A and B are shown apart, each in its own frame.
Chain A
Amino acid sequence: MITSTEAAVMPEAVAAPARPPRGPRRRARRDRAGYLFLLPWFIGMLFTIVPFFASLYLAFTDYDLLSSPQWIGLANFADMFRDPVLLKSLKVTFVYTFVSVPLSLAAALAVAMVLNRGIKGLPVYRAVFYLPSLLGASVAVVLLWRYIFGLDGIVNAFLGWFGIDGPAWTSDPDFALTTLIILHIWTFGSPMVIFLAGLRQIPVMYYEAAAVDGASRWRRFRSITLPLLSPIIFFNLIQSIIASFQTFTQGFVMNNGGGGPANSTLFYNLYLYQQGFNQFNMGYASAMAWTLLVIIAAFTALTFFTAKYWVNYDN
């Protein structure tokens, strides 16, 4: 459902068109070739478009998967406001997004800046730091995480050296979401790689000139790095918010598909899945999916709106 915002955020990515061939016949031939290359995309789109509109229709029906859908108008949407579990899942998702996205972007930027200082073996370090983001949403790593944060896990053993009696990180409802947020922060790899590419594009002469003028490190960061990097930060921010609102695997694996303990890791998408597939309320689940789309669109629009105050596009 979510289309990439890449083109919109990075105007420089839009390449200037090649000089068009002259004559209508030539143009037709050129177009045919173009559509031919697009064909796989069109075929692929069918598999997206059809379920897309099917779910829009189902959102207004009572559909239990086994009997045919019954049109009920807006009842599913009205029910959502009265569903305490849904409100709980929204809260979990919001807390997760608004805590973990800024922290993981900060971590990504910090590591990118360290790596940008021209250390030897950069590709190796880059790969090492990128690796977790490939694995972070995978079942194996979430399980590994469960062991690291287990009652007798590494984290509690470490805390034990300082005389701290660590909590039950994964089974205590007060800590389970925190544990997942830490996992998310650790998977800062893809924004980091993008930050790194952005940092490399900042001309060194700016820093040299600033250093000559006696600017401190912090000053150089504030006045050169941040403004010139702001389009990249903006891009990463939007990508991360969108991805984070759709979190599923972490909550699913942490507590055997239940979003526990006590629904403390019941992400919105996890609850949607439970409604659709465990409780046979596919109409309600579809309504939830479309509501999530609206929520994500609203936050993306809000971020775009604020962009003019802090994103710097003139080079």
Chain B
Amino acid sequence: MRATGIGLVASPALAACGRGFGGGGDDAGDGVTLNMVWWGDATRAEKTQAALDLFMEANEGVSIKIEYQDSGPYQDKLATRFAAGDAPDLMAMRMDSLREYADRGALLDLNEYSGAIDLSGLSDNASTLAEVGDSVFGVPAGLNAIGFVVRKDLAEQYGVAVPDGDTWSWEDLAAFAKGITDASDGAVYGTGFEAQTLANIVVYTRQRGEDFFTEAGELGVTAATVQAWFELIGGMRDEGGFPPAGFFEQIGGSPDQSYIAQGKLASQIIPTNNFLGYNAACGGNLALLRIPGETQGTRRGQSIDCPHLWSVASASAHPEEAIRLLDFLTNDPEASLATGTTRGVPANASVAEEIKDSLEPDDQLATDYLIALQGEELPRSFTYPPGGSAVFDFLDAIAVEVEFGRQSPADGAAQFIEQAKQAIAG
């Protein structure tokens, strides 16, 4: 849901009706029962179960008790279960929570099991996602990135050319957006995305040669960059290409309810693994572009991300079985065929290639986007330090203050840096 939760379409409306999960220790007979938990909807569960059935067929004596729910309550429940000494064996782990758990010794270092799990099929961009120092505390459950989607039909209708998605700049975006808004007489805004979504500002920060979070786990982004980001969006808003303050009322929600599907926006940023859903909601009229500014910046800004990681609890009573299951999910093409792209493109590059042809065309397009991106030289991104989720809360509040003109971009940026540094320092 938050910046790293890209890739899932979860509504907080479900927050109150998540499936409970509790009590993991009912071993059936002499076999081993693994407890595996994640967040997601029923479709994701069905696909995951299909893969797990394959695993259980091949591994006599291992049964898997699954539990899943919506992402908000999942987070609470997971923390509570760890607190109660009842950690699940294998679990979905949010990127911004990884170090909260790992730094406190709650997760298994997969490097100690390097004989049992093969991570050599992962690209560098993917395998470093859960790396902290010399340890690896998780495997990406799938890969995604953010991409810019543009409504081709609206661009044509208002006579504005869709820019070249590989080389366009932020100025090109502003010109495109203004063109759409002007030509539609304000009925459609040219572009719109959230200033406070971490995934968005992170790309911009990287393009300027800074890391949002540094390798040492400190805040790397400067006030100048945050200010420039606010001003970039503010400038487009003043020109009319970007919607006015208060326009974005509903964050999240399904592709069908999105502003771009409703025809109120001509372009926006989405997680690539949602491309299939968004394109269907937009009648197949979407073009998938890269984020602007990739060729003009100091360096590349885009990075490979993941909807979530799979981690194993250090307190697991059956670490070997849990790791075997993790290896199966990561490296066996049959597993990925069953799960599809519900959690993004398979992390293992050869598995991704192998299952690509069986995917729907829109999924293939998104998969190609990601495979291409992985083959490129992208600067490494560093994972969230503990306290990272508080950083998001501050950015969220300050971005709105700036949006409504209650604070200048410069003041907002300075205040954000001060608060974020304090949050990370603990």
- Chain A: residues with CB nearer than 8 A to chain B? 64-67, 85, 139-140, 143, 146, 150-151, 167-168, 170-174, 252-253, 255-258, 260-263, 274, 277-280, 282
Contact = CB atoms under 8 A, between A and B. Distances in A.
5 contacts: A151-B246, A151-B247, A151-B249, A261-B400, A274-B393
A151 to B, nearest CB: 6
Given A67-B104, A139-B13, A280-B79, A146 B400 contact: no
A66 B397 contact: no
A146 B248 CA distance: 12
Contacts of A261: 400, 404
B250 A167 contact: no
B12 A256 contact: yes
Contacts of A167: 246
B112 interface: no
Contacts of A140: 13
Interface residues of B, number: 37
A277 B83 CA distance: 11
Given A64-B104, A139-B16, A256 B397 contact: no
A253 B82 contact: no
Nearest to A249: B16
Interface in B141-185: none
B111 interface: no
A143 B396 contact: no
The 9 closest A-B pairs by CB, nearest first: A168-B246, A262-B400, A66-B104, A65-B83, A261-B400, A171-B246, A277-B76, A171-B249, A256-B12
Interface in B1-39: 1, 12-13, 15-16
A262 B401 contact: yes
Nearest to B16: A139
A65 B386 CA distance: 14
A260 B397 contact: yes
Contacts of B397: 260, 262-263
Given A64-B104, A66-B106, A173 B250 contact: no
B252 A256 contact: yes
Interface string B252-264: 1000000000000
Interface of B: 1, 12-13, 15-16, 72, 75-76, 79-80, 82-83, 100-101, 104-106, 245-252, 386-387, 389-390, 393, 396-398, 400-401, 404, 406
A280 B387 CA distance: 9
A262 B246 contact: no
Contacts of B76: 277
A310 B343 CA distance: 63
A128 B227 CA distance: 51
A66 B101 contact: yes
A253 B15 CA distance: 9
Looking at chain B's contact residues, the main secondary structure is helix
A257 B249 contact: no
Contact of B15 (A139, A173, A258, A262): A139
Nearest to B250: A146
A278 B75 contact: yes
Nearest to A277: B76
A50 B166 CA distance: 60
Given A172-B246, A262-B397, A280 B404 contact: no
Given A252-B15, A260-B397, 16 more contacts: A64-B100, A64-B104, A65-B80, A66-B106, A139-B13, A139-B16, A143-B13, A151-B246, A151-B247, A168-B246, A171-B247, A257-B15, A261-B404, A262-B398, A262-B401, A278-B389
Given A261-B400, A274-B393, A278-B75, A172 B16 contact: no
Looking at chain A's contact residues, the main secondary structure is loop
A277 B97 CA distance: 11
B104 A170 contact: no
Nearest to B14: A139
A280 to B, nearest CB: 6
Contacts of A258: 393, 396
A168 to B, nearest CB: 3
B75 A277 contact: yes
Nearest to A64: B104
Contacts of B72: 257
Contacts of B404: 172-174, 261-262
B13 A279 contact: no
B104 A262 contact: no
Contact of A65 (B79, B247, B251): B79
B137 to A, nearest CB: 13
A4 B166 CA distance: 65
Contacts of A143: 13
A150 B259 CA distance: 14
Contacts of A252: 12, 15
Contacts of A151: 246-247, 249
Contacts of B12: 252-253, 256-257
A132 to B, nearest CB: 18
Contacts of A139: 13, 15-16
B267 to A, nearest CB: 20
Given A65-B83, A67-B104, A262-B406, A173 B247 contact: no
B397 to A, nearest CB: 5
A139 B72 CA distance: 14
Contact of B387 (A168, A255, A260, A279): A279
B317 to A, nearest CB: 18
